Amino acid sequence: MFDPTVFENLKVALENQLYDLDNLDGIIRITNRTDRMEMSVMAREFALQFELIHGGEIKAEIRLMASLQDLAAEILEMKDQSPGCKLVIRFDMEVVPSQVGQGLSKPLQCDKIEKIMKQHWPDLTLVQTVSCMYGKEPVQCNITAELTFNRKINEDQMDDIPELIEHVVDTLRTLEECFK
């Protein structure tokens, strides 16, 4: 009998919650889905990207990853290991030069985004990346704010998934308001 891994169980829980918010509740629209087995390192990765139905300027993504070490520790029932998954939350938004500020050396929106992320996710590590396509007119830049959980998650956090997703949606709403 197939015994699903921690990764599989968390993936299904995330899928169910997010697709319910899309199909049943009409709060979000799922815009992309990734379900990958990375053969070169024998790792798993799953991600769902979505936007607010009444928004759409900013996209959120919840990404779940399991390494070979985590998968092997669970499948082989290694006693000294605690298998789990890495969880990352991303927010992607486009800004125009008037929102970026004087030049591209210090985007003003990054300060606003950092403040919002620290309010909503004070304990998580935040990395912001700003990218612009050279030569494209009018100039547009993309800002990605990525939040990484400082520990692995497992089935002990299964009951926290609805609250986590609600918190991501609330953050998305706050960002949408900031960028109107």
Residue range 12-28, pLDDT digits in tens: 999 999 999 999 999 99
Q: What is the mean pLDDT of residues 36-44?
A: 90
Pure H helices in the chain? 6-19, 68-75, 97-100, 108-120, 161-178
Regarding predicted confidence, which is higher, 1 or 144?
A: 144
pLDDT for the residue 96: 66
| Stretch among 38-42, 61-65, 103-107, 174-178 having the lowest mean pLDDT | 103-107
pLDDT for the residue 102: 46
Mean residue pLDDT across the chain: 88
pLDDT for the residue 108: 62
Q: 79-91: per-residue pLDDT in tens? A: 888 889 999 999 9
Structure tokens at 3: 């015994």
Other residues' Cβ atoms within 10 Å of the Cβ of residue 149: 17
Q: With a cut of 90, say whether residue 63 has pLDDT above it.
A: yes
